[in-house]
Amino acid sequence: MTETRAPAGGARAADVDVVVVGAGFAGLYLLHKLRGLGFSVRVLEAAGDVGGTWYWNRYPGARCDIPTTDYTYSFDPALEAAWTWSEKYATQPEILRYAQFVAERYDLRRDIDFNTRVEAAHWDAAASRWRIRTSTDASVSAQHYIMASGCLSVPKAPDIPGAGRFQGPVYSTGRWPHQGVDFTGQRVAVIGTGSSGVQSIPLIAEQAAQLTVFQRTPNYSIPAGNGPVAPERRAPLEADRAAYRLAAKWSRAGVPSTPTQIYGRYSTPDVHAERFESAWKSGELVPILGVFADQILFPDSNAIVAGKVREKIRAVVANPETAELLCPKDHHFGTKRPCLDTGYYQTYNRPNVRLVDLRSQPITSITETGIDAGGEAMRFDAIVYATGFDAMTGAIVAVDITGRDGVTLKAKWAAGPITYLGLMSVGFPNFFMITGPGSPSVLSNMMVSIEQHVDWVSDCLVRLRNDGLTTIEPTPQAEAGWMQHSQDCAAITLFPSADSWYMGANVPGKPRVFLPYVGGVDAYRKACDEVVARGDLGLRRSGPAGTRCNDGLVRQLQPDVGMVLDMLAAMNLPTFDSMPPAAARAFLAQLSAARPPGPAVGEVKDGTFPGAAGPLNYRLYRPATPGPHPVVLYYHGGGWVLGSHDSDDPLLRDLCVRSGCLIVSVDYRHAPEARFPAAVDDAMAALRWVSTNATSLGGAAGPVAVAGWSAGANQAAVVSQLARDQGGPAIAGQLLLTPVTDGDRNTASYRENAEGYVLTASLMQWFFDHYADEADRHDPRIAPLRAASLAGLPPACIVTGQFDPLRDEGVAYAKALAAAGNRVQHIPARGHTHTSLTMIDVVVSGEPVRAEMAAALRGFFQPATVAA
């Protein structure tokens, strides 16, 4: 396999198996690993030595912000035993020493070309090799080309007028002089208050005669509480190092932790205070980013944490005006990476420190002697730019990477990076990225993510070699699917709301796309492992042994739906159809009690109404807005066997708030005690009673709409037909959420989704067996799809879930209603199951669908508007 030519006279091989760009932690581990697997490797590095981030960022105060117990290689237990970190958060010099120690230990430098910048890499299709050009004019070719070029390795050039005019020394935190800088007695300007600014400002302030900090956007920062590693932090690692590292690999952020289930929006101020203070005292990012399970999902929960951080800032900073300027108010907590500091806010109490707010006092120009801002000319002896990085994509597109058919990566990524798993990109065979866009990378402990990528890529190259194949490239379908999934993950969070470098917002002209994968290190690793387990899913591999491709999508469920399913699978709960109905009902009630309650509405009132065979319960939801409100009659789900006026409570609160409708959720008799057609008789009785009493219930006059979920949606569809046939009551519209519309169970969706998505094919059989005789199952009162005529029915909105056995019959009913001349809106809920849309505050990806459902309900009462 190897094409390495023996280096003549110490020269390095020009043709190798793998070229790696970068000798940071990613490049170093790649070299060690691939070399061990028998590949010839050459690493090309622009810097003068190893270390990457820690080679370049030598500014005062530079430290890691993930504790060193975790921010360290774990691939070799002997390496771990040979190195001891001195502090909770090590300084840059110590981390750089560690990188050098690793390079020496594994004799890595002999395969690294330092002071060598890669300028271009072109795919030579005829030779199936990458041809690489460097700043030293060295030309290298490789079968595989790997960018380990760093997510934060290209400092952002300051976009400030006059930059370049200043005659004194100018420093960039990301390119700090190796000999250090002495600011003693100087007037210093620091521009930028991101992580590098926050770390360096306190130390520069101690040295400088005067320090002026220019701030455009304040960041949230928490005190690092640095010092020796706390015993309670060391203990689990020392007790079982392997278990600790494994827990990190399967954690959300690459640091072992137990995520809370506590919601900020549903807990008390005491709980808020207790959880926040404990996270604050930890001085670590993972706890403060996880005070509440919902803080990155909902603004109200996030505001609790953000508000408390602001209280802390105000408590420290003596000058109230300065304190207000330092309080972030334009982004949700955690949507930009929070900083960890040592005495940052205290620094503003020093007499030699001044804060200039660039929003009210913008820089007009850098001058020869200083900075003009807001009409004030300020003189400085030195200027420090702490203006961040062109993150995640900067180093990759800085190289002219040209793939198949002469297409450049830069052109392909013009509207934002497009990758499969953040590892590869269509059109660029044998090209890999370490911690690339579309992978957890900067949202995680990078050491864990780097190791995972290096291991995955190495294993991939070994498989290719073992299979007698030479090239590998993702398929367009797989890549598009991953991008969709990655954007789905971001969309359910508050992340995209911030103008952050995660979004590319700090670089003028950079496309606004959420760059990292938000789904978590654990979910990501699972997807990568699954790609392998499913025969290199979505990867086209070819060579002398032929071409192999198992095309497909590794993730199609909405991310939160997938998480719920994983959680349920881990709980290994008994299934409803394994229990007698009474036990199943009690179990459902128990599950319902544990769910988030849903939003507050104006009024919730329970009562009874006359069912077909006696009184039945109902629950009424009244909006908080002034009435009278249009009235919706709702039938709960539960397969005619389970559920009650209480069982869909959070969904109905949500629908009431969103739609502004008064909702009356009614009970109906259940099977097997009362089999078909008892439920239908009660459903009709409810329709008559609610229609007659709409105004006395406080609702608006006029026809009511009917709605339901699952078997309840079946009831709503059936009463719509019966009311038509019986001459009333009039119905304004029917909202059918994942309805049962047929008595047969032989559709493709039944087969595809028979198991694994909560509502199983066998549970549906159990429902039907309890509810109705086989002979009745084509009766339109069970199978509305089979009605003799579907003409003249109320307008319908039908929601179907992609992973629902009932999907196809819902789709069929929507088509049949439309074909019969009815007004129909069909909402196919991509990535959803039969139950997921009802999981209020748990499945956030259901929100847009529920918003559409609410709009449909409103539209039933304004037909002219909707028709338009």
Ligand X SMILES: Cc1cc2nc3c(=O)[nH]c(=O)nc-3n(C[C@H](O)[C@H](O)[C@H](O)COP(=O)(O)OP(=O)(O)OC[C@H]3O[C@@H](n4cnc5c(N)ncnc54)[C@H](O)[C@@H]3O)c2cc1C
Q: Which residues bind ligand X (CB under 6 A)?
A: 21-27, 44-47, 52-53, 55, 57, 62, 64-66, 71, 117-118, 148-153, 196, 395, 398-399, 434-435, 445-446, 450
Closest by CA position to 801, among listed 671, 713, 717, 683: 713
- As measured in angstroms, the least distance from the Cβ of 407 to ligand X is 19
User: What is the Cα–Cα distance from 317 to 154, expressed in whole angstroms?
Assistant: 33
- As measured in angstroms, the least distance from the Cβ of 150 to ligand X is 2
User: What is the Cα–Cα distance from 250 to 238, expressed in whole angstroms?
Assistant: 19
Greatest distance between any 2 Cα atoms in the chain: 99
Per-residue DSSP letters for 160-180? -TTTT---S-EEEGGG--TT-
User: What is the Cα–Cα distance from 798 to 792, expressed in whole angstroms?
Assistant: 17
- As measured in angstroms, the least distance from the Cβ of 679 to ligand X is 57
Of the two residues 46 and 188, which places its CB atom closer to ligand X in the complex? 46
- As measured in angstroms, the least distance from the Cβ of 96 to ligand X is 10
- As measured in angstroms, the least distance from the Cβ of 672 to ligand X is 58
Of the two residues 252 and 540, which places its CB atom closer to ligand X in the complex? 252
- As measured in angstroms, the least distance from the Cβ of 202 to ligand X is 15
- As measured in angstroms, the least distance from the Cβ of 21 to ligand X is 5
Of the two residues 71 and 431, which places its CB atom closer to ligand X in the complex? 71
Of the two residues 197 and 623, which places its CB atom closer to ligand X in the complex? 197
- As measured in angstroms, the least distance from the Cβ of 622 to ligand X is 50
Of the two residues 96 and 785, which places its CB atom closer to ligand X in the complex? 96
- As measured in angstroms, the least distance from the Cβ of 447 to ligand X is 6
Cα distances (angstroms) measured from residue 704 to each of 189, 255, 646, 661: 67, 53, 21, 10
- As measured in angstroms, the least distance from the Cβ of 335 to ligand X is 18
Cα distances (angstroms) measured from residue 769 to each of 14, 637, 740, 759, 774: 72, 16, 14, 15, 8
- As measured in angstroms, the least distance from the Cβ of 155 to ligand X is 9
Phi, psi of 364 (to 5 degrees): -85, -35
User: What is the Cα–Cα distance from 368 to 164, expressed in whole angstroms?
Assistant: 9
Of the two residues 395 and 844, which places its CB atom closer to ligand X in the complex? 395
- As measured in angstroms, the least distance from the Cβ of 371 to ligand X is 24
- As measured in angstroms, the least distance from the Cβ of 48 to ligand X is 10
Of the two residues 194 and 519, which places its CB atom closer to ligand X in the complex? 194
User: What is the Cα–Cα distance from 129 to 125, expressed in whole angstroms?
Assistant: 7
In this structure, are residues 280 and 222 in contact, taking their beta carbons and an 8 Å threshold?
A: yes
Token pair, residue 487, equals: 């954007």
Q: CB-based burial of residue 82 (10 Å sphere; 0-12 exposed, 13-18 middle, 19+ buried)?
A: exposed
Of the two residues 253 and 674, which places its CB atom closer to ligand X in the complex? 253
Of the two residues 390 and 808, which places its CB atom closer to ligand X in the complex? 390
User: What is the Cα–Cα distance from 554 to 343, expressed in whole angstroms?
Assistant: 46
Of the two residues 153 and 322, which places its CB atom closer to ligand X in the complex? 153
User: What is the Cα–Cα distance from 467 to 669, expressed in whole angstroms?
Assistant: 62
Of the two residues 225 and 362, which places its CB atom closer to ligand X in the complex? 225
User: What is the Cα–Cα distance from 739 to 713, expressed in whole angstroms?
Assistant: 5
Cα distances (angstroms) measured from residue 629 to each of 348, 662, 703: 55, 6, 12
As a whole number of Å, the CA-based R_g of the chain is: 31
Closest by CA position to 198, among listed 220, 169, 174: 220
Residue written as token pair 């229609």: 691
User: What is the Cα–Cα distance from 621 to 599, expressed in whole angstroms?
Assistant: 11
Of the two residues 147 and 685, which places its CB atom closer to ligand X in the complex? 147
Of the two residues 152 and 507, which places its CB atom closer to ligand X in the complex? 152
- As measured in angstroms, the least distance from the Cβ of 584 to ligand X is 47
Of the two residues 181 and 584, which places its CB atom closer to ligand X in the complex? 181
List, in sequence order, every beta strand (DSSP E) within 438-545. Answer: 471-474, 539-543
3-state class percentages of the chain: helix first, strand second, coil last, to nearest 5 = 35, 20, 45
In this structure, are residues 673 and 580 in contact, taking their beta carbons and an 8 Å threshold?
A: no
- As measured in angstroms, the least distance from the Cβ of 67 to ligand X is 8
Instruction: Specify the 3-state DSSP secondary structure of 79.
Output: helix
List, in sequence order, every beta strand (DSSP E) within 257-320. Answer: none
Letter string b/e over residues 437-458, b meaning 16 or more CB atoms within 10 A of that residue's CB: bbbbbbbbbbbbbbbbbbbbbb
Of the two residues 25 and 413, which places its CB atom closer to ligand X in the complex? 25
Of the two residues 390 and 560, which places its CB atom closer to ligand X in the complex? 390
Per-residue DSSP letters for 343-391? SHHHHTTSTTEEEEETTTS-EEEE-SSEEEETTEEEE-SEEEE---B-T
Of the two residues 92 and 836, which places its CB atom closer to ligand X in the complex? 92
One-letter amino acid at 857 equals L
User: What is the Cα–Cα distance from 194 to 186, expressed in whole angstroms?
Assistant: 23
- As measured in angstroms, the least distance from the Cβ of 330 to ligand X is 23
539-543: strand order across its sheet = 471-474, 539-543, 546-549
Token pair, residue 672, equals: 């097997």
Helix axes 559-571, 521-533, angle to 10 degrees: 80
- As measured in angstroms, the least distance from the Cβ of 593 to ligand X is 40
